[in-house]
Structure 1
Amino acid sequence: MASQLLVGCESLHYPWQKAPAPAGPGDTVATTETPDAGAQCPEPVEVVCAEPEVKVVERVIERRFEKVVEVPVAKDKLVLGAVETVAVEPGGLILDSVIDTGSSTSSLSARELTPFERDGKDWVRFKLELPGSKNEDPLTLELPIKRQVRVSRPGFDSQRRPVVEMSLTVGDVTHMVEVNLTDRSSSEYLMLIGRNFLKDAAVVDVSRRNVQGAPKLPNTK
């Protein structure tokens, strides 16, 4: 191909140049020597085109979808917050209590638990610290033991607790439920309301507190 280009380059004439007339029989053809015959046409140069730079742009599109699920709530059920005020009987205590759907039974803070027997049945004597009454003597109660329950918590040794029956009032709802007795003085709340009070009676909205306000004790007259 290079030789063809050279031949084509030597025979190339621009439009404004006239091609030399052919020589006749008696004409003398003048020849002009060129120092370098190859200078009439430049050497072919191989041109290598650089590949175009391709930039890859990664575009990540993140979409988040929120799904709202509406759960119907029965009109006759009590709506409770994470903490509610509870009236405890016997004892006449009014306590701010934590609502715990993870506990099967309710729990009350009691100290100096002393089991004893009365009329052939097991009873327990215990003391209740009245909130805000550090200078007063604790309230002493005696109740029959319904049963014993063993409670296990992660990171703690299992405990055997006596279970008694007590009347709990939240809002205008009062239930007689089983309550296990243990020392909860290290906890923020002395009373814990478990599922045995909540079952079939209340639903819990953990984003709220004190929804029911002060408990309304039933009229005992």
Structure 2
Amino acid sequence: MRTFSPLWLLLVSQLLVGCESLHFPWEKGAATVVPGTETVEASQPVGPGAQCPEPVAVVCAEPEVKVVERVIERRFEKVVEVPVAKDKLVLGAVETVSIEPGGLFLESVIDTGSATSTLSAQELTRFERDGKEWVRLKLAPPDSGAEADLTTVELPIKRHIRVARPGFESQRRPVVEMSLTVGEVTHMVEVNLTDRSGSDMPMRIGRNFLKDAAVVDVSRRNVQGEPKAPNTK
């Protein structure tokens, strides 16, 4: 009877029992036991009888998402079209105004920033008549510098106002009533008087004449032309 070596017997026995942990010294990754120690290092077995490791599910962490709220504020300019009544005047930045008393035609600035109208006159003189305060003023026709051409006007003073201008001392001005005509519209309004000789524009039409009567187009001049008194239609 032929004798089998112990190594063959061990191999056959392991194959019969289905052991998958049999390792040979010459196989890579075989378990190594160091005498005198308790540490055993072993690699995964390789070869036909090696057992594959269980699959492990790898879950990747979701990246952190930062949500930044951006608020953009937009401002839109709202254009409102205001209808203009048909019976209102359309005035330019400069218009010719007829004043009474005096009967003069003066180039006037249309000043929406002034509450009352202003007239620049010469030789303002206050005096008393019948117990009331009056004022005497002289007006020069346009393009006339001769003293003989000056027109003298006397009017009762209704009240006084104090006007402050940047860079100038405040002035106490007399206020009188005058009839002003622009185009075909005539209004009796309050006019404050100031002594401002040599002014290119002796008259400034304020809001007390413009209110409820006219609209202003500052890009135009002399829209209404020469004034027309109500009795000369």
Structure 2 gap ranges (5+): 1-75
2:211 equivalent among 172, 196, 199: 199
1:187 and 2:199 aligned: yes
Could you say which residue in structure 1 is the equivalent of 2:131? Answer: 120
2:124–2:195 CA contact under 8 A, matched in 1: no
Of 180-189 and 90-99, deviating more is 180-189
Q: Distance in 2 between matches of 1:208 and 1:185?
A: 27
Structure 2 counterparts to residues 95-174 of structure 1, below 5 A = 95-137=106-148, 138-174=150-186
Q: Distance in 2 between matches of 1:67 and 1:196?
A: 29
Distance 1:115 1:185 in 2: 17
Structure 1 gaps of 5+ residues are 1-64
CA distance in 2, matches of 1:81, 1:184: 24
Deviations 1:80-135 (A, max 9, x none): 11000100110010011000000000011111111111011110111112222223
- Residues 26-105 of structure 1 mapped to structure 2, 5 A cutoff: 69-105=80-116
Give TM-score, length-normalised by structure 1.
0.67
SS in 2 for 1:110: strand
**Distance in 2 (alpha carbons) for counterparts of 1:66 and 1:105:** 32
SS in 1 for 2:107: strand
In the aligned structure 2, how far is the partner of 1:93 from the partner of 1:208?
A: 23
Partners of 1:186 and 1:118 in 2: how far apart?
29
Could you tell me how far 1:156 is from its partner in structure 2? 1.1
Q: How far apart are the structure 1 equivalents of 2:178 and 2:210?
A: 15
Partner letter of residue 206 of structure 1?
A: V
Pick one of 222, 225, 230 that aligns with 1:218.
230
Deviates more, 1:93-102 or 1:182-191: 182-191
How many Å separate the matches in 1 of 2:79 and 2:212?
25
Q: Which segments of structure 1 move beyond 4 Å, counting only runs of 4 or more?
A: 65-69
Measure, in 2, the Cα distance between the counterparts of 1:134 and 1:188.
12
Q: Matched residues in 1 for 2:206 and 2:78: separation?
A: 30
2:231 match: secondary structure: coil
Q: What is the number of residues matched between the two proteins? A: 157
Equivalent residue of 1:132, what SS?
coil
The range that moved more, 159-168 or 66-75, is 66-75
Structural RMSD (CA): 1.9
